[in-house]
Structure 1
């Protein structure tokens, strides 16, 4: 049975530490803002970027996950709050981010591999 979802979004700023001449880069991630949204509140990626930019343009990546509801009831913003805190803590502490779908501003998928407290793309 499909349960109603709430989307959890974290905008993050990257600080590059250079690369090795390929598409791989290393650096650090810093959380900028978190927000939860009902899926019907989002129309497309471009609109999401525009909405985020109204708050701040100081972000490079968006991490996305979802939270399931129960018994046909979607989760509330209050229920999403501890999960948003976990997302923030995962970024700050260099945890494995493979549980999140990560996009850059142009809707390109980004794969992040933790290594010694820095990220590689």
Structure 2
């Protein structure tokens, strides 16, 4: 299944045989403290920079009505974000993942975003469209 937007991701998660927990790591783009003039210029043009995780949450697919609901809920925190990284954690034997497994997976995602190791996650912009990295 090709995922073009958040609704495709949600549909894919809902269609799985095992129950899923959806993992979300929200991040902001920022200029690294030790940056070159070229990096600063690209960042100011809306390209480049470093991604810094600012919050994370897990949800059951049934708890989400869509991306607009997720974005609205995130706005209630007062924390701005530029991108959200998502992943799904499957359960086993018709049981949802244990909470400590969810928390461990979220910590691993946060760490991966800090390190820039984001290739195994889907990323969406604030409008719910997929983000491609080059």
TM-score w.r.t. the length of structure 2 is 0.74
How far the C-alpha of 1:109 sits from its partner, in A, is 1.0
Alignment partner, residue 83 of structure 1: 105
Alignment partner, residue 121 of structure 2: 100
Alignment partner, residue 13 of structure 2: none
Q: Which one has a larger percent strand, Structure 1 or Structure 2?
A: 1
Q: Give the CA RMSD over aligned residues.
A: 2.0
Query: Could you list the per-position Cα deviations for residues 10-57 of structure 1 after superposition, in whole angstroms to 9, with x for gaps in the alignment?
Result: 10001264439x9x8211000000111111110011010000010134
Query: Could you list the per-position Cα deviations for residues 58-91 of structure 1 after superposition, in whole angstroms to 9, with x for gaps in the alignment?
Result: 1110100010100000113322001100111001
**8 Å CA contact 1:18, 1:26 repeated in 2:** no
Name structure 2 gaps, 5 residues minimum. 1-15, 32-39
Matches for 1:34-113 after TM superposition, within 5 Å: 34-95=56-117, 97-113=118-134
Query: Could you list the per-position Cα deviations for residues 83-117 of structure 1 after superposition, in whole angstroms to 9, with x for gaps in the alignment?
Result: 1001110011222x12111001011211234xxxx
Query: In 1, Cα distance between the equivalents of 2:79 and 2:96?
Result: 30
Matching residue within 18, 25, 30 for 1:10 = 25
Alignment partner, residue 19 of structure 1: 42
SS in 2 for 1:107: coil
**8 Å CA contact 1:4, 1:74 repeated in 2:** yes
Query: In 1, Cα distance between the equivalents of 2:22 and 2:78?
Result: 20
**8 Å CA contact 1:36, 1:77 repeated in 2:** no
Query: In 2, Cα distance between the equivalents of 1:10 and 1:18?
Result: 27
Query: In 2, Cα distance between the equivalents of 1:76 and 1:41?
Result: 17
